Amino acid sequence: MKKFFTLLLWLSLHCSAYATKPNIVIIYADDLGYGDVGCYGATHVRTPNIDRLARQGRRFTDAHTASAVCTPSRYTLLTGCYPVRRGNLWSPVFLRTPLVVDPARTTIADVAKSAGYDTACIGKWHLGFGTQSPTDWNGLLKPGPLELGFDSYFGLPVVNSHPPFVYVENHRVVGFDKADPFVYGNTAETRAFDEKFKTDAIGGAAKAHKLYDDEQVGTTFAGRATDWIRAKAKSGNPFFLYFATSNIHHPFTPAKRFQGTSQAGRYGDFIHELDWIVGQVMNVLSEAKVADNTLLVFTSDNGGMLNRGGQEAWRRGHRLNGDLLGFKFDAWEGGHRVPFIARWPGIIEAGSVSDSLVSNVDLFATVAAITGRKLGQAEGEDSFNILPALSGEPNAKVRDHLLIAPLRRTHLSLRKGDWIYIGAKGHGGFGAKKVGEHGLGGPAAQLFTGHVNSDIEDGAIKPDAPEAQLYNLAKDPYQKQNVIRSHPEIAKQMKAEMQSIRTTPTAPHTALGL
């Protein structure tokens, strides 16, 4: 009975609070690890703006992306659906790939738009364009963000490490001249940086390429985002902004003013620029007098990567993912446990910390709850409304399980309570074995990082290691001891549940029709 009246009180308070629809801004950082931010323990970089956001809102310590990989992670955020339901969506997509989101599927932007919100996507897209392969960069890039519920789009079409190195606005490449078309197989006129790849995959379009300066991408996106917020604040209409930064994905190309400012090399300098970007968004919300009626969420698409920039940062003492095992693309915690901070003055308790299990997949249903949008059974099938964890008690539990997809499908994992089950031995991510290689990861990386795991010895998986993995994260948060042989029944049960989830939607509204 007490719980019933508590629920009624919560509903009455929050239904009245949302009488004026709040603005919603999601800042989605790229490759930002759990240990890359001051309020999560970083000491070799300074993040005063992100730390200020945490002091003004709620910081989550058990937030995860439903995929440890960039493209599937973004698919998850936009659709509220696990990427395993999309078939073969385990890997990043590149310049030849069509749009991977079905325009007929409801997206988080559709949810906001149907509630009367102005919507925009600014920054990294990385979900493909059009319907054919290879993509025709000389024509209309359609369908794309505008067919998925966004009123406007400006940003980086793929990723800052891979072509084309241009900007796209709405349906066209910015600065495109039909007299100088894109040509597959030609070398692009673009600046060279370490860990910037495939510059010979598509060239031509000299004017469009010239408008793209790697060291101005972050500041350009910040300017676009703040201008858009300022304009929408004046309109008085509620707005939804999905702001996907290219920071801190390689190559590490901060603007001149940030270079040399950290103790973690260019990796750390790129974090400093990201923190400035977050500060710019916070400042414009305050200046436009809409901060008090805006839910601002800051999180990352996956964990930090031990690329060459990451290796240099590590040598200097920076720990990308804190003490967590693993890195970007991995099934281990470092691949998918990420910073997650939310601020909503008067609704979210300032300075609070939560250990509730939450995920990027949950933003879909949460936006629906905030905007009053009733979800159908085929919408956001894996998204849980995390408003109780945002605005209620810090440790309110909204979900007890989460399906997590690394790069390799053999390593699909299930988090259940304190336990995580990983379907194969090893990490499931990058496989380079030598320090100095771009994709250093897995057992070989432990010779460099000093991480300890019971299945690994001398940088290799032990011959007698179990075929799968089970860890109790409450007792062993850094995954030092695989206990699957001690708890075979738990592993068996979790494996069966994981297979069931692959074919069955998990969100409460899919079963109850709420």
C-alpha span between 468 and 492 (Å, rounded): 10
Q: How many CA atoms lie within 13 A of 439 on its CB side?
A: 10
Asked if 24 contacts 118 with a C-beta cutoff of 8 angstroms, the reply is: no
Residue labelled with tokens 């790129």:
270
**Helix segments in 306-459, DSSP class H:** 308-315, 363-371, 387-391, 442-449
Cβ-contact 206, 226 below 8 angstroms = no
Radius of gyration of the chain (CA): 22
Residue position matching structure tokens 């290799």: 460
Of 70, 438, 451, 509, the active-site residue reads: 70
Q: In the structure encoding, which two tokens stand for residue 390, read together?
A: 């945002």
Residue 401 is among the residues annotated as catalytic for this protein: no
Residue that the structure tokens 């673009």 belong to: 190
Query: Is the peptide bond preceding residue 164 cis, with omega within 30 degrees of 0?
Result: yes
- Residue 66 near residue 76, CB atoms below 8 Å: yes
Structure tokens, 9 = 């009180």
Q: Please identify which of the residues 64, 81, 121, 126 carries the catalytic annotation.
A: 126
* Interior angle at CA 155, CA 211 and CA 262, nearest 5: 85
- Region label for 153, one of left (φ > 0), alpha (ψ between -120 and 50) or beta (otherwise): beta
- The answer to whether 303 and 335 are in contact (CB under 8 A) is yes
For 139, other C-beta atoms within 10 Å of its C-beta total 16
Does the annotation count 15 as an active-site position?
A: no
Tokens 């698409």 correspond to what residue?
301
Write the DSSP assignment of 342-379 as a string of letters: EE-TTTSPTTEEE---EEGGGHHHHHHHHHTPPPPTTS
387 burial via Cβ count (<10 Å: 0-12, 13-18, 19+):
buried
Residue entry with tokens 């079905």: 102
Are 269 and 397 within 8 A, CB to CB? no
Q: Of the candidates 409, 369, 403, 408, which has an alpha carbon nearest to the alpha carbon of residue 388?
A: 369
Q: Are 30 and 20 in contact (CB under 8 A)?
A: no
For the annotated catalytic residues, the residue numbers are: 70, 126
